[in-house]
Amino acid sequence: MLSTPDSQDFLQAATERAELIEKLLAIGTALSSTHDLEELLSLILSKSREITFSDAGSVYLIKHDGDVPSLLFKVAQNFSKPAMSFREFGMPLTHKSLAGYVALTGETLNLPDAYELSTDVPYQLDRSFDRSIGYRTRSVLVLPMQNQKGETIGVLQLINRKISPESVITPENVLEVAQPFSEWEERIVRSLASQAAISIERTHLQESIEQLFEGFVKAAVQIIETRDPCTSGHSERVADLTVRLSQEVSDICSGSFAGVRFSDRQIQEIRYAALLHDFGKVGVPEAILVKAKKLYPLQLEVVKNRFGLVRRTLEMDCAQAKYRHLVEHPNHLLKHPDLSTVDCPHCQRLEQLDTELAEKLAELDHYWQVLLEANEPRILAEEPLMQLKEICQYTYRDADGKHKPLISMEEMEQLIVRRGNLTEAERLSIQSHVTHTYQFLRRIPWTKELQDVPAIAYGHHEKLDGSGYPRGLQASEIPIQSQIMAIADIYDALTAGDRPYKRGLHPIAALTILKQESAHNKLNPNLVQLFEQRQVFSVIGHNLVDPN
């Protein structure tokens, strides 16, 4: 069967329509997969220009700032003036501009020549922009981008529909090269603008959700710091250090990290895990969290009062012994009213009682100094430890007449801690914060891109040799993100100057400890080396200038 000219035209038109539909479907797919607003707006404009052979164009978004909405100039493109730079700015939302009129009315403007507008219309083209770049706007298509509720959220403006897509428009050739937009193109772009509006709203919604979650994370960090004010800023610093070290790892193209790459979403995942890594501290008793010395402040006050009671008891016992002696020897006062005769055995007895009291009080004072020394959160030497055991045997007569130990078993258990200020039970309570963090984080319905936040936070106290907690994982079982966070967490704990039980170390000293830990297979040596070489700590304002 022979084809006729009419049938050939029909087939060509059908083919062109099919190609256009395929383009629109591809554009729709691209729009739905783009999450960054700036990238999305640029894509909307470039695809609209591509379909219509438009030389230039721009995208505006309506900004609701209080009671006065404005039009925000977001994106501009110009094929004939590619070197021109455009920057975002706001403009009043009025009927006087083309974009403002479309935004307010929801109508489409299809202008064959924007320089030849009737004086009856409220809008006019601002020619100052053309003059500033040496351009000439002719045909213009301005469409509202409306969401599913019919609300206009932005404006798409296409300029100079060209006869040939490769043509370069100048003020001299614009009348020959540029032509009006057809009704067919108007319908197509209107459809595309509707897809664009949905994509923009979706992106806005995604941003709102992320801002909401960001607010939740910040509130969670504030809760942690409220319960443990001595570590204020720790979570943010650990997050900054962890993110920077992760980025450094991603930049390496050779060696042990050659195959490790973190996308922007994975970096965000790492950041959230680092910010929330200590959230489980809400499940740890506050007294343990803020404990500065071995005894709690109230305990030390009780012990101090107990020492005071013993002192007064000793003084009272001495006074009573003197009184009994004088009562038993009444003639002594008649012979020696000033109690000063050395040869008098009764006077010597009284002096002996004073001497014994002074020795007992001196011993008590010594015990108190030993206790204060032992109460400090540092390594306990052998001598104070032996003296503590001696104090443990000391008893006194209480107000009810019963003999009781000067130091209780619970107090002694805390004082004889050889290193630091926590008993084993308190240490386990502190360590439980990791499990509390994991159990809390895993209840959050994370998106696919953030689903590993709980696991990353769960492993930040694990050690490569299996000596970490809470699960005692080996190196191959610990996520690389957790290994990175472990270094950041330890470094900040060493250098932080806000801990009540220790002074912050200089970065050089902290790096020395990190390298020692890596040498003992506790931390990843390659990560520690990268941490030092790239001076990751500079992200929180630290440097390697030797203070000496």
At 315, which amino acid appears?
A: E
* Mean pLDDT (whole number) for 24-50: 73
Backbone φ, ψ for residue 389 (5° rounding): -65, -35
33 DSSP assignment: H
User: 111-165: per-residue pLDDT in tens?
Assistant: 999 999 998 999 999 999 899 999 999 999 999 988 888 889 889 999 999 999 9
**CATH code for the structural domain at 20-205:** 3.30.450.40
At 451, which amino acid appears?
A: Q
Yes or no: say if 421 and 291 are a contact pair by the CB < 8 Å rule. yes
Max Cα separation, the chain? 156
* Mean pLDDT (whole number) for 352-381: 90
* Mean pLDDT (whole number) for 498-507: 72
Instruction: Please give the CATH architecture assigned to the domain spanning 228-288+426-540.
Output: Orthogonal Bundle (1.10)
Residue 447 pLDDT more than 60?
yes
Separation of CA 437 from chain center: 15
* Higher pLDDT pick, 530 / 82: 530
Mean pLDDT lowest for which of 129-133, 240-244, 314-318, 418-422?
Answer: 418-422
For the chain, give the percent of residues with pLDDT over 70: 88
335 DSSP assignment: H
Backbone φ, ψ for residue 437 (5° rounding): -60, -50
Residue 1 pLDDT more than 50?
no
Q: Share the mean pLDDT of the chain.
A: 86
Q: Is 421 helix (H, G, I), strand (E, B) or coil?
A: coil
| Calpha distance 348→351 (Å, rounded) | 5
User: 48-107: per-residue pLDDT in tens?
Assistant: 898 899 999 999 999 887 678 889 898 999 999 987 777 788 888 999 999 999 999 999
Nearest to 379 by CA among 411, 417, 414, 412: 417
* Mean pLDDT (whole number) for 179-190: 89
User: What DSSP element (H or E) covers 217?
Assistant: helix 183-227
* Higher pLDDT pick, 30 / 280: 280
| Calpha distance 480→464 (Å, rounded) | 11
Same fold, 20-205 and 228-288+426-540: no
Residue 495 pLDDT more than 90?
yes
Distance from first CA to last CA of the chain, Å, rounded?
97
* Mean pLDDT (whole number) for 467-490: 96
Q: How many CB atoms lie within 10 A of CB 284?
A: 19
Q: Which residue has the tokens 């301005």?
A: 142
DSSP 182-209: PHHHHHHHHHHHHHHHHHHHHHHHHHHH
* Mean pLDDT (whole number) for 372-383: 84
Yes or no: say if 27 and 192 are a contact pair by the CB < 8 Å rule. yes
At residue 389, the pLDDT reads: 86
Separation of CA 221 from chain center: 8
Which tokens belong to 259?
């195959």
Q: Domains of the chain: which residue ranges?
A: 20-205, 228-288+426-540, 297-420
* Mean pLDDT (whole number) for 394-416: 89
Residue 18 pLDDT more than 70?
no
Work out the pLDDT band at 289, boundaries 50, 70, 90: confident
pTM: 0.69
At 467, which amino acid appears?
A: S
DSSP 3-state helix, strand, coil percentages of the chain (rounded to 5)? Answer: 55, 10, 35
User: 263-284: per-residue pLDDT in tens?
Assistant: 999 999 999 999 999 999 888 8
* Mean pLDDT (whole number) for 501-514: 87
At 435, which amino acid appears?
A: T
At residue 310, the pLDDT reads: 94
Yes or no: say if 440 and 279 are a contact pair by the CB < 8 Å rule. yes
| Calpha distance 436→50 (Å, rounded) | 54
| Calpha distance 466→167 (Å, rounded) | 68
User: 331-343: per-residue pLDDT in tens?
Assistant: 655 555 555 555 5
Q: How many CA atoms lie within 13 A of 212 on its CB side?
A: 6
